[in-house]
Structure 1
Amino acid sequence: MGEGDALFARFGRTFEPGEVLFREDEPGNTMFVIQQGQVRITKATRDGTKTLAILGPGEFFGEMAILNSKPRNATAEALSPLRCLVIDARTFGQMVVSNAEIAVRMITKLARRLDSANALIEVLMHRDPKARVILGLSRQAEMIGEERDDGSVWVPITRTDLAAEIGLSEEETEDVLVRLRRLRIVEGGDDGFVVGDVQRLQEFLEFLEMRERFGDGN
């Protein structure tokens, strides 16, 4: 039995698509580590439910309820068949104290989480829907993208989830995606996107910003 299987035998749980792992404002004393599948993290706002992140294998979540002993600050829902390690506060404390590597990995991932939050703020500050879509796709490509043999990146996020994350309607988001598909920068959209070249995606955003700066934002 491998290390991952041994951990799952001790701490593992499975969840079905659509199953809620925990809800915002509930008390919590466990954190989760994804072994297989995806989780959507959402938060209620005045304008409806806001998608904060789509997390995949290797990511952890729910740790803040352990670290600060406060209620859950978001809701976690399984997007696909899910295998997770469920770790309580006591076990987490023992793991951190006994294994410096785990502590370092936790600090590193928390720092990445902060960088990701700052990147999302940057996305939401843009008024231009084109910029929001491109920045949102770039952010997701960095967070959960899977590089393929041909150098392209598979980004497993639907148009609906992308629109919710960047604060646009699905129609506004699709308008931009149509343009990106026409330019062969992005493909797909039903269950995820293929970004042929993330650098080209970012260069296209720079091109649009230059056009807008010189008075042609069409």
Structure 2
Amino acid sequence: MKWSTDHAREPLLTEAEYDTLGSGVHRVSYPKGSLLVLNGDHSDFVLYLIDGYVKSVQRNPDCILGIHAPGRFIGELAALTSKPRSADMVALTDMTALFVPADTFLKLVANDARLAAAMMRQLGERVQELGVRVKSIINAEQQLARAILEIVRSGIGEEGDDGLRLTGFNQRDLASLSGISRESVSAILRPLKESGVVTIGRGRITVHDLEPIEAIAQRVDHALLTGHARDPR
């Protein structure tokens, strides 16, 4: 069987082009696990991967947006849009890359039609992949919100001073009822716990504020009905 991978594609740059990129371009190396870029940073440099792999990650809940192989630029959106970084970038392996200042990268793309076309194709593929991931996350949040609402509306909950107590339910039960993994339940509940919407205890879930949960379900339902996936948060 022949396996097709992104790494098998033609690199965007050749080694002969490395030394022609202009001033400020230099090689950098990082060990596995290094945080290369932090979400929200205003840095605008671009990295061209020579060796090793990098993942882009969005937090709260954690979601891997993409895995980047050698022969590709990463972090180019900040250079193209002049906006803050939209995700963390973490080295999956030991890696070597070219550090390319934003202005050098923009000149390179503007003056090289072949590279510009390749970059547009790369960005298009990332948008498609991200759309699939976002849709999956939205579906999971919808399913979990519906599961919680189903328990609440069953009348089994007990009202207390701190909210509605759903005794006898844990995250495993929510996973089973909503049809998603326990890991997904934990990831989706994390920001709800941090914002004080719910509290998870041993064999008990306490809902302090039902409106955010209803809002998630309503917004996701609307997105699915209209065919436009929107972030429910």
Return the TM-score normalized by structure 1: 0.52
Tell me the residue number matched to 2:65: 52
Is the 1:30–1:86 Cα contact (8 Å) retained in structure 2? yes
Aligned counterpart in structure 2 of residue 67 of structure 1, from 60, 80, 98: 80
1:59–1:104 Cα change, 3 Å: same
Deviations 1:36-59 (A, max 9, x none): 1111211122x4x32222221223
The correspondence for 2:15, drawn from 1, 4, 28, is 4
> How much does 1:122 deviate?
3.9
* Alignment partner of 2:117 out of 71, 96, 104: 104
Q: Structure 1 residue aligned with 2:34, among 15, 19, 32?
A: 19
**C-alpha displacement of 1:103:** 0.7
Within a 5 Å distance, the mapping from 1:128-207 to structure 2 comes to 168-169=181-182
Tell me if the contact between 1:24 and 1:72 (Cα under 8 Å) persists in the aligned partners: yes
- Cα 1:7/1:112, change in 2 over 3 Å: same
Q: How many residues align?
A: 130
Residues 89-131 of structure 1 show CA distances to partners (whole Å, capped at 9, x for unaligned) of 111122112211111111111111111112223433555xxxx
Given that 1:21 and 1:77 are in contact with CA atoms closer than 8 Å, whether structure 2 keeps it comes out as: yes
Cα distance in structure 2, aligned partners of 1:116 and 1:171: 19
Report the RMSD for the aligned CA atoms in angstroms: 2.8
The residue that corresponds to 2:149 in the other structure is: none
Gaps of 5+ in 2: 1-12, 141-179, 186-233
Evaluate the alpha carbon distance shift between residue 91 and residue 169 of structure 1 in structure 2; reply closer, same or farther with a 3 A threshold.
farther
Letter in 2 for 1:15: Y
**Equivalent residue of 1:26, what SS?**
coil
User: Which residue of the other structure, out of 106, 111, 127, is the alignment partner of 1:114?
Assistant: 127
**What's the TM-score, normalizing by structure 2?**
0.49
Deviates more, 1:117-126 or 1:2-11: 2-11
CA contact (8 A) 2:47 2:74 kept: yes
Q: How many angstroms does 1:15 deviate by?
A: 0.8
Whether the 8 Å CA contact 1:21–1:78 is kept in 2: the answer is yes
- Which runs of no fewer than 5 residues in structure 1 stay unpaired? 128-166, 173-218
* CA shift digits 1:63-101 (9 cap, x unpaired): 111111111111111111101122111111221122111
Q: Indicate the percent of aligned positions where both proteins have the same amino acid.
A: 24
Quickly say closer, same or farther: Cα 1:87–1:168, change in 2 above 3 A.
Answer: farther
AA aligned opposite 1:58: G
Partner of 1:124: 137
Q: Give the conservation status (yes or no) of the 8 Å contact 2:80–2:106.
A: no
**1:8/1:119 CA distance change after superposition, 3 Å:** farther
2:47 to 27, 32, 35: 32
Give, in whole Å, the separation in 2 of the partners of 1:171 and 1:71: 28
Q: For the Cα contact (< 8 Å) 1:8–1:85, is it kept in 2?
A: no
